[in-house]
Each structure stands twice: as C-alpha cells, then as structure tokens.
Structure 1
Amino acid sequence: MKALSHPLRRRILHRLRVHGPATSTTIGEVLGANTGTTSYHLRQLEKHGFIEEIPERSAGRERWWRRAETPRDVRMPRPDTVAPEDQPVIDELLRVRHAEDMELFSRLPEEYRRDHAWALLSRGFAHMTEEGLAEFFEAYIRLLQEHSHDREDAPPGARPVHIRLFTLPADTD
C-alpha cells in the first residue's frame, strides 16, 4: 500500500494501464517528470510487483515497462487486518483515492452530455443484510471480470473506462 501512496506512481500506473508499455523517458515527458525521477518510481513499482520490464523490447539503457498482470478489482484491506503503524498509510491512500474519484465525478456531467454511450450512471438504494451485501459485491466483481478485457486482448472498439462501486450505510447520516 505504501508504494501506491505516491501520486507519481499512481499516475505512472494509470498511464501504463490506459496507454500500454512505455519507457521512463516517454512516461517522464508525458507526466512532466525528469527521467531519473521516473526511473526511480518505476523501480519501486517493479519491486512491489505492480509493473514488469519487457525484456524483448528493452535494449541497452532503454527499458520498456508494462503493468504486471493485476486483478481488475483492487480492494482495500479490512481495517482489522492492518497493523496500527500502517493505518496512516491506509488513511492517506484512501484520502488520495477519494480526491482522484472526486475529480472523475466532477467530469461526469460533461462526459454524460458528450458521450452518453460511455458515461453511464446509476444510483441505487436497498435494504440488505451484511451477508446479502457481501454476495451482491462478489456478484458485481464477477460481472466486472466477465465483461472486462486486458488492453492487449481487447476486441476492436473497446475503450478503457473507470468503474467505481462503493456502498455506505444510509442510517448513519
């Protein structure tokens, strides 16, 4: 989780996920970072298994990187499984991801008008048991995996899309 708490690392991961393999130079140019900084963060992401080098494309000092095979569903650890000294890292990651999601959410009205076929939304409300909510969540994840493709094997016309699901109890507000 600590590796993901750095904003440039998250931007690098996003860039590789959406646009595919790249070098530290090309990533640095696009993200406005120098090659040394980009290389350092790429090595950190590699160390923690988030990305991998593409040896067949790399030559000399030019190293090509791609996202490592990762699940389409990234979950936060349960709070009761996090050591107290690691809780600030989780809190910061939640804060940063919330800010990123709010930026996405702010784009929704414009995207909805511009490209309704791709900017879909729904709001829901239900009474559920804890077990029923857990089953609903797992069914959602199965649907996500069933209808998703990796960038490399996506069919023609496939586009990257942001997908978010969150649930909150409604009786605490």
Structure 2
Amino acid sequence: MADSSDPRVADLGTAKALANPVRQRILRELDLVTEATSTTLAERLGMTTGATSYNLRVLAKYGLVEEVSELARGRERWWRKVRVDIRLGPTRDEQVKATVDQLNQLWLSQDIELFTRFRQQQARMGEWGDAMPYSRGSIQVTTAELAAFFEEYLTLLRKYQRDSADTPADARTVHTRFLAFPEPEETG
C-alpha cells in the first residue's frame, strides 16, 4: 500500500468519492488483496469491469488509489490503495456536512455487518477468535485535548500499519475503530 501520511481535510469531492458504497467495497477489497485489476475486482465483487474501472478512476482522481505501473501488461491496469490520512473535520459547508454524515452512517453500517460476520465465524477462528481486546471508558477533556488524544491514537495506529512485504507470516488483518463523542446529557 502506498503511503501519503500528510493529513488532508476532505473536500466535497473526496467525501463523495468515499461515501459511495461501491467504492467502499473496492477499497476494502484492495485492503484484502493489496493489488488488483478492475477485472479481478469485478469478479470478486460480482460487478462489471466497466463499473470497477469507472470507480477506480474516481478513487484515483482523489488520491485514494493509484496505478501500479510495474505490474501493467498491455492494456491491463493494476491498482492499489493509497494509505492517506483524510480528516473529516468540522466545516461550514452544508454539502460536505451532509456527505460526511452519509459516509459516517455507511461506515457504521459496514462495521456492524463486519462485526456480525466476525461473531458468526468466531468459534472457528482458533486463537484469533479470542483476540478481541475491548475497552469502554470515558475521559474529561477539552476539545483541544480530545484532538491531541486522537492524534496520539493515530500515531499508535500508524506504528502497526505496514506493507505486506514487512508483515510477519502469522499476522492477520485486525480492524480497529476509534469513536469518541461528548456525553449528550452533560451541560457546560
């Protein structure tokens, strides 16, 4: 996976590119297979090559995937995901807000579905079935401290993100999520 580590605030185009369910499926598939052609993705996702090609081009336009030129043969184009730090920060643009809300809802739905699939397979996963650290807590912080807390979390996450060539043979993909929100009943 290519890396673009400088944080980038999502504009409307990037938010729309990410908020598309088909593009989310393509990005997830590229997480799993690392590099693929539009034909390979179409077969794996049950789509047409035209649909995967179009959506790959949209993702590339916003720097979310890139061509792997060293694998290209003739007209065959290979793609990989770009590790990019996209921030969905506060904005006054109502279109961006609405699109980010749509994206967050899509991601939450995907996470619930993914967790459900994990629970269905958990008993058959051996030691990985029990490898599910879970923590719930609360902290009392200012908005600036919460931003710093999030940056520290991202730094820790990046420490363990690595290319497939650097990944130990016994490693598995582990989905991680960060969710923090203020107590809605607290005033002040």
TM-score normalised by L of structure 1: 0.84
Partners in 2 of 1:108 and 1:59 — Cα distance? 37
Q: Which is further off, 39-48 or 96-105?
A: 96-105
How far did residue 48 of structure 1 move?
A: 1.2
Q: Structure 1 residues 37 and 86, CA, compared in 2 at 3 Å: closer, same or farther? A: same
Give the letter for the 2:147 counterpart: A
Give the letter for the 2:31 counterpart: R
Look up the match of 1:139: 152
How far did residue 100 of structure 1 move?
A: 1.1
1:149 is aligned to 2:149 = no
Q: Which is further off, 88-97 or 118-127?
A: 118-127
- One of 77, 92, 95 as aligned partner of 1:63: 77
How far did residue 111 of structure 1 move?
A: 5.7
Give the letter for the 1:15 counterpart: E
Matches within 5 A, 1:1-173: 1-71=15-85, 74-78=86-90, 81-107=91-117, 109-110=119-120, 114=125, 115-172=128-185
Check the 8 A contact 1:23/1:63 in 2, yes or no.
yes
How far did residue 121 of structure 1 move?
A: 1.4
Partners in 2 of 1:108 and 1:130 — Cα distance? 34
How far did residue 147 of structure 1 move?
A: 2.6
Partners in 2 of 1:8 and 1:31 — Cα distance? 9
Partners in 2 of 1:35 and 1:61 — Cα distance? 13
Q: Which is further off, 102-111 or 157-166?
A: 102-111
TM-score normalised by L of structure 2: 0.78
5+ unaligned residues in a row in structure 2: which ranges?
1-14
Count the aligned residue pairs: 169
Check the 8 A contact 1:112/1:119 in 2, yes or no.
no
The Cα RMSD (Å) is 2.2
